[in-house]
Structure 1
Amino acid sequence: MYTKEEKREIRIQFWDGFKRYSKKRGRKMTSWVLKGTQIKEAQLKFDLGENGAFVMLQIDSKFESKRNLVFKSFEKYKPVIMETCGDNLIWEQDYHIKGFKDVSLIYFHLKEASVFNKEEWEKYYEFLFEGMTKLEAAFLDVKEVVQSI
C-alpha cells in the first residue's frame, strides 16, 4: 500500500505526464474548454479514480430542477452529440458522486483503470485525450442552443 503522500505524488506524476502527452498531440492543457464552457452548470472534466478513468460533461446545480433542465437540454441534442462521440458515451441524469452530491453526467468510462498501474498510463492518456477531443467537439456543436435555455 501507498502512503497518503506517495498517492498524491503518483497522481501528480500522472497528470504531469498527461500534460506532456497532450502537448505532444498538439493540445496544451489550458486549451481545453473544461470549466470555460460559458454554461454555469456545465463543466468538462477528466478523472482517474477508484472507479476507473472518466472523460465527462458534468452538470450540477444547487437546484435539482435547474440541473435536470440543463441535462434535458443536452439530451434533446443527443443524436448530434452521439454522432460525434459514438455509442460508448453514457448518459446519466442522476449520478451520485460518493460522499459528495448528485450530478448529471454525459461521459466516457474506462473501467478498471488505476493511476497506480503505471504500465498502462499511455493507454489512459490516449483514452482521456481521445475522449475529451470528441466530447469537447460535441459540446461546442450544441453549446449555443443549450446556452439559450
Structure 2
Amino acid sequence: MYSKAEVNQLRQAFWTAFGQYMAPVPSAEGDTTNWINYKTGLKHVYFRMQADNRRATIAIELAHPDAGIRELFFEQFEEVKNVLHETLGEAWTWEAHATDAQGLPFSRIYKELSPVNLFNRDDWPALISFFKPRLIALDAFWTDAQYTFEALK
C-alpha cells in the first residue's frame, strides 16, 4: 500500500516524465503541443489519458451536459469511425452511455491496457509505449477530422 502522498508523488512523477518524453514530438501540423493537456478546440470534447494500479486508458471523451448534443457528437464520431480506426491502426471500444466518478454522464471512445500499474516504475515503459503512439495518432486524426465537427460548436 502507498500513502496518499506517495500516490500523488508517483502519479505526478509519471505524468511529468511522460510530458518530458513527449515534449520534442511535434504535432501532426508541426507545432509544439502540450500532449498531457491536449486541446481539441471543442468545448466538452477531450482526449484523456488515465492510469492507476490496475489499468491505463486513453480516450476521446464527450462530456457535454446536454444529452442530445452529446449524442450528436457521438454520432458524428461514428460517421468517421473508419477513418479513426484506420489512423489509430486498431479498433477502439465505443461507449455511448457511461458515468464518471461523480455520476455525471458522458460518452467515450477508448483503448485500455491491463494489467499495468502506474505506481510501479517498472511499468512506466509499457505505459509510455501504450500512450505515445495512440496520442500521436489521435492528433493526426484530429488534424483532419476536427472540421467535421464545426457545425456542432
Class of the TM-score when normalised by the shorter of the 2 chains: 0.7 to 0.9
Count of aligned pairs: 148
Residue 20 (structure 2) aligns with: 20
Q: Which runs of 5 or more residues in structure 1 are unaligned? A: none
Residue 88 (structure 1) aligns with: 91
Could you tell me the TM-score, scaled by structure 2's length? 0.85
Superposed, 1:122-133 pairs within 5 Å as 122-133=125-136
Q: Please state if 1:37 is matched with 2:40.
A: yes
- After superposing the two structures, state which structure 1 stretch, 126-135 or 80-89, moved more: 80-89
Percent identity between the two aligned chains: 25
Query: Any idea what SS the aligned residue of 2:108 has?
Result: strand
Q: Which runs of 5 or more residues in structure 2 are unaligned? A: none
Change (3 A) 1:33 1:68: farther
**Shift >3 Å, 4+ stretches:** 27-35
Shift of 1:8: 0.5
Superposed, 1:6-85 pairs within 5 Å as 6-23=6-23, 26-27=25-26, 30-32=33-35, 34-85=37-88
Deviations 1:10-32 (A, max 9, x none): 111111111222135x2598443
Residue 112 (structure 2) aligns with: 109
Q: Say if 1:44 and 1:56, in contact at 8 Å, map to a contact too.
A: yes
CA–CA separation in structure 1 for the residues paired with 2:33 and 2:139: 13
Change (3 A) 1:127 1:73: same
